[in-house]
Amino acid sequence: MLKAIIFDLPETLVTEFDPDWKPPRLSTADRLGISESDFQRNAGPLRDVWSSGRIETYQDFVLALCSSAGHTPPASVMAELTMEIATRKSITFANIESSILEMVEELRSRGLRLGVVTNASDMDAEPWPGSVLAPL
Average pLDDT over residues 40-55: 89
**What does the pLDDT read at residue 95?**
83
Average pLDDT over residues 107-113: 95
Identify which has the larger pLDDT, 101 or 121: 101
> What value does the mean pLDDT of the chain take?
90
**What does the pLDDT read at residue 34?**
95
Residue 3 scores a pLDDT above 90: yes
Average pLDDT over residues 82-90: 88
**What does the pLDDT read at residue 125?**
86
Q: Which residues of 63-99 are buried (b: 16+ CB within 10 A; e: fewer)?
A: bbbbebbeeebeeeebeebeeebeeebeebbeebeee
Taking residue 33's Cβ as centre, other Cβ atoms within 10 Å add up to: 13
**What does the pLDDT read at residue 73?**
94
Q: What is the CA radius of gyration of the chain?
A: 18
